[in-house]
Structure 1
Amino acid sequence: MQFNIETERLILRELRLSDLEGMYELDSDPEVHRYLGNKPIKTREESKKIIADIIHQYNERGIGRWALINKQTKEFMGWSGIKLNKEHPLNGFDEYYDVGYRIIKRFWGKGYATESGKAAVDYAFKVLKLPELYGITEMGNQASHNALLKIGLDYVEDFFYEKEKLQLRWYKIENK
Structure 2
Amino acid sequence: MSIYIETERLLLREFEDQDVDGLFALDSDPLVHKYLGNKPVTNKDQCLEYITSCKQKYKAHGICRLALIEKKSGDFIGWSGLKLIDDYTFNNHTNFYDVGYRLIPKYWNKGYATESGKAAVNYGFETLKLDTIFGLTEIKNEASHNALLKIGLDYIEDFYYPEDAIQLRWYAIKNPNL
Secondary structure (helix, strand or coil) at the match of 2:58 reads helix
CA distance, structure 2, for counterparts of residue 35 and residue 55 of structure 1: 26
**Aligned equivalent of 1:37:** 37
Is 1:174 aligned to residue 174 of structure 2? yes
CA distance, structure 1, for counterparts of residue 56 and residue 31 of structure 2: 27
**Aligned equivalent of 1:10:** 10
CA distance, structure 2, for counterparts of residue 36 and residue 48 of structure 1: 19
- What does 1:25-174 align with in structure 2 at a 5 Å threshold? 25-174=25-174
Deviations 1:34-84 (A, max 9, x none): 000000000011111111111111111111000100111110000000000
CA distance, structure 2, for counterparts of residue 140 and residue 151 of structure 1: 19
Residue identity matched to 1:128: L
**Structure 1 unaligned regions, length at least 5:** none
Normalising by structure 2, we get a TM-score of 0.97
Residue identity matched to 1:6: E
The alpha carbon displacement at 1:5 in A equals 1.1
Please provide the CA RMSD for this pair: 0.7
Deviations 1:122-171 (A, max 9, x none): 00111111000000000000000000000000000000001111110000
CA distance, structure 2, for counterparts of residue 34 and residue 89 of structure 1: 22
CA distance, structure 2, for counterparts of residue 85 and residue 79 of structure 1: 16
**Structure 2 unaligned regions, length at least 5:** none
Aligned length: 176
Secondary structure (helix, strand or coil) at the match of 1:171 reads strand
Instruction: List, as ranges, runs of 4+ consecutive aligned residues in structure 1 with deviation greater than 3 Å.
Output: none
CA distance, structure 2, for counterparts of residue 148 and residue 117 of structure 1: 8
Percentage of pairs with the same residue: 54
CA distance, structure 2, for counterparts of residue 62 and residue 83 of structure 1: 9
CA distance, structure 2, for counterparts of residue 3 and residue 131 of structure 1: 20
